[in-house]
Structure 1
Amino acid sequence: MAVLNGFATSFAVAKIGVGSSYDLNSTSCPCFRSHCGRVKSLVYTHSLSPRCEVVVEKESSGAQSSVSALELLETSDRYTKKSSSVMVIGLSIHSTPVEVREKVSIPESEWSQAIRELCWLIHIEEVAVLSTCNRIEIYVVALSQNRGVKEVTEWMSKYSGVSVTELRQHRFLLYNKDATQYLFEVAAGLDSLVLGEGQILAQVKQVVKNGQGVPGFGRKISELFKHAITAGKRVRTDTNISSGSVSVSSAAVELALLKHLPDQDSSMPHATEDRVTAIREELSTDGSVIIEYKPFSEMLSCAALADVIFTCTSSKDPLFIKESVQAALPSEDGGRTRLFVDISVPRNVESSVSELEGACVYNVDNLKEVVESNKEDRLRKKMEAESIIAEEVKQFEALKDSLETVPTIKKLRAYAERIRVAEVEKCLSKMGDVDQCSS
């Protein structure tokens, strides 16, 4: 109610919803007057005392039955609330520096717990988490877009320690069809730093694998990701988008080649010797390349002898810090330069290492100079892939619409069955009365 020039303005709604807190038959409510029967359209009034009349007419029992049917439909989810929205709230390499991404990054081992925590939020129904070196994305089915975004952003801030204000500066938001199209493009490698890279499709598959059996990884999110995998596979099958260097690691090697990688042997500090042996067998069948296993404890001594150091681990803490690298490097090195190529998120090499004389540090964000080459060819491949993505999005949206009608159809069938049973019982009861009268 708003007051203007001494007059009270009241608005009457056109319909009183099922389960309203107002009792239309009660005389205790000063703003409503009712009679038994159907609710008529209400009145817009200007008066000193707000008043809203509800006039009702008597109805036949048949009409009341129709009203009951409408009330039943109105109490179903499809008619009493807006359909849920599919959204993605994310940070990507295109808009967010690695300094922020590494703080918000969610290790794969924590995806399930993140889903559980997010589903405890009031407006979040379903969740999926995709966190890689290039992106941190949370896909949700939300009851409210604005409130859902607010709740997820606040959760990300609490999880990472990054302020909500800073997250808002870098995050991107997509809804419904746009969110679907974006995920399909991600799975196809169209949004990757290296166009068509294959690793992202494996990571999308891992989202589905980890989500199995986790409360909150529901039907809508599951179907969305499964269809994204289908779209990603089709793009790679129907186009040659995967030709050439198609991974972040291969781009890292190209970066090293661009800088100054001479012909050298390799040492691999690694957790398992078996893995290093497998790599050696794959890359050096004729023994021309020497790949040597070293335990992790010898990492710094290996770095002191190396020209290029590649790092890619899931460690949350830096492996190479300025003080330890400075202590490990020989005091007299003859102007030798060491190249640290760090493609980990969180980063394995402190940025301050680059302050040391003879040390250059490149992180995953620096790989952009590699992937800028052959731009025309990459754009042509992307156009072919986008037409396939558009077809897949159309198919998925049709599937989603059909799935949303299923609960309503089930409720209609159940209601029809109840009517049928009631009418049969009524008929049998009347037949029994006739039999008693005739006897």
Structure 2
Amino acid sequence: MHIAVVGLSHRTASVEIRERLSIAPDRLTETLQGLVAACPHVQEAAILSTCNRLEVYAVLSEIEHGLPEISQYLAQSRQAPLLPLRQHLFTLLNQDAIMHLLRVAGGLDSMILGEGQVLAQVKGTYQAAQQAKTAGRILNELFKVGLKAGKRVRTETEIGTKAVSISSAAVELAHTKMSGLKGRHNLVIGAGDMGELFLRHLIAKGADRITLLNRSIDRAERLAAQFQQQPILVLPWEKLMVAVSEADLVFTCTATQEPILARQHLEGMDRAQRALTFFDIGMPRNIAPDVVQVHGVWAYNVDDLKEVVDRNMAYRQQMVQQAEILLEDELNQFMNWWRFLEAVPIVNSLHGKLESIRLAELEKALSRLGTEFAGKHQDIIDGLTRAIVNKILHDPVLKLRAEQDVQARRQAMRALQTLFNLEN
């Protein structure tokens, strides 16, 4: 048996190609079952489909035919020409395929290094394969190890800490400057994609007073309704200056060609000596540079925040080495388990032979002991003989499992087969 990965990712294919091959969650079961049915050499399969990758994890009885079968099925099922598709596909086998899943689950192969969402996606992939009944013994173990590895990377390293997007960097910086966001009045100006990210990051950091302001109040209300766990006050654009005067932190991300706030708007504003800090990720800038000339006002723009992002990304890069050591450990454990599978038939055969001998001798012994004595003590005698067989098996099985040299293990298997006259 061979473990293989066939797929494409943000490293090998454009977003247009990835969109074309993506598989909706409600189609995964059907696609998996179709894959196994259409590919005779695919014994087990799981599909990881996200915005950044489509990867088929498979157990193959044969590489030469199994790999082309997967590529052909992907092309047919997604109605994509095979030859152009092949230039975007990558293939990994056995140990490389296993390590790839571990790196994906750990966030080491993500577009944003260390991002945590992919671990949940890997879990969803495993659950979908279980539901489709296309994950057998090997993929079940592989994905359990992958999920365990991903969790270890996140708990035993700091690769997932420190913001590496502009919006999260803004909120992290605000959190640091204010020694926490709880009780602070946070104003988000703009209800587009960046505004949504601001809201998510603010809530994740514990913000409990959030106001959302947008030129289209309907859009702002629809966005605020998505966050039922945290009430968000929505104000119309006409309340801009009122909202700013009451805010401690202002996050701006509007599509405007001219600044929406400048020094002239802030001078004379009654803020009772309270500081005001702007985090502006608009491009062009939403906040004019001269606002910092007003006493008690600070402003950070995209360039300021990019310095934070670059510094945090460098820190995450330092964590990669620690993560790789953890993944190597998980890889070795899985490889030992997988290699031992080769010895399972011999172990089962040996156990079967010893068990048949035990039962035959047990029956003879019980017949000699007489019905009354045998009936009274049969459970004890049965347990005794069963324990003896298990203890005889313990050392050979332990040695086979611990042996990492494939040839040495096979030599030991042949010796067992010969000495105990086991079936081939």
TM-score normalised by the shorter chain: which range applies? Answer: 0.5 to 0.7
Q: Which residue of 2 aligns with 1:200?
A: 118
**Structure 1 residue 294 corresponds to structure 2 residue 260:** no
Q: Determine if contact 1:126/1:217 at 8 Å carries over to the other structure.
A: yes
- Kindly tell me the number of residue pairs found equivalent between the two proteins: 264
**Structure 1 residue 373 corresponds to structure 2 residue 310:** yes
2:189 counterpart (242, 259, 265) = 265
**Structure 1 residue 222 corresponds to structure 2 residue 222:** no
**Structure 1 residue 209 corresponds to structure 2 residue 146:** no
2:333 counterpart (391, 395, 399) = 395
Q: Which residue of 2 aligns with 1:187?
A: 105
Q: Which residue of 1 aligns with 2:352?
A: 414
SS at match of 2:56: strand
1:10-25 matches, within 5 Å, as none
TM-score (norm 1): 0.52
The CA deviation at 1:378 is: 3.2
The CA deviation at 1:144 is: 0.9
TM-score (norm 2): 0.54
Q: What is the identity percentage for the equivalent residue pairs of Structure 1 and Structure 2?
A: 35
SS at match of 2:146: helix
The CA deviation at 1:284 is: 5.4
What is the rounded CA distance, in whole Å, between the counterparts of 2:207 and 2:152 in structure 1? Answer: 33
Which residue identity lines up with residue 377 of structure 1 in the other structure? Y
What is the rounded CA distance, in whole Å, between the counterparts of 2:256 and 2:61 in structure 1? Answer: 64
1:60-71 matches, within 5 Å, as none
Which residue identity lines up with residue 397 of structure 1 in the other structure? M
Q: Determine if contact 1:197/1:246 at 8 Å carries over to the other structure.
A: no
Change (3 A) 1:287 1:247: closer
What is the rounded CA distance, in whole Å, between the counterparts of 1:200 and 1:193 in structure 2? Answer: 10
Which residue identity lines up with residue 189 of structure 2 in the other structure? D
SS at match of 2:58: strand
Change (3 A) 1:142 1:246: farther
What is the rounded CA distance, in whole Å, between the counterparts of 2:324 and 2:188 in structure 1? Answer: 41
SS at match of 1:225: helix
Unmatched tracts of structure 1, length 5 or more? 1-83, 255-262, 270-275, 296-304, 306-332, 338-357, 359-368, 426-439
SS at match of 1:216: coil
Q: Which residue of 2 aligns with 1:113?
A: 30
Change (3 A) 1:173 1:413: same
Which residue identity lines up with residue 209 of structure 2 in the other structure? D
Change (3 A) 1:371 1:94: farther
SS at match of 1:399: helix
Say what the alpha-carbon RMSD is for the aligned residues.
4.0
What is the rounded CA distance, in whole Å, between the counterparts of 1:264 and 1:96 in structure 2? Answer: 35
What is the rounded CA distance, in whole Å, between the counterparts of 2:351 and 2:49 in structure 1? Answer: 43
Q: Which residue of 2 aligns with 1:146?
A: 64
Which residue identity lines up with residue 102 of structure 1 in the other structure? E
Unmatched tracts of structure 2, length 5 or more? 173-186, 215-219, 224-236, 238-254, 260-283, 285-305, 364-424
1:100 counterpart (17, 21, 24) = 17
1:252-331 matches, within 5 Å, as 265-267=189-191, 285-290=208-213, 292-294=220-222
Q: Which residue of 2 aligns with 1:240?
A: 158
The CA deviation at 1:294 is: 2.6
The CA deviation at 1:248 is: 11
Q: Which residue of 2 aligns with 1:86?
A: 3
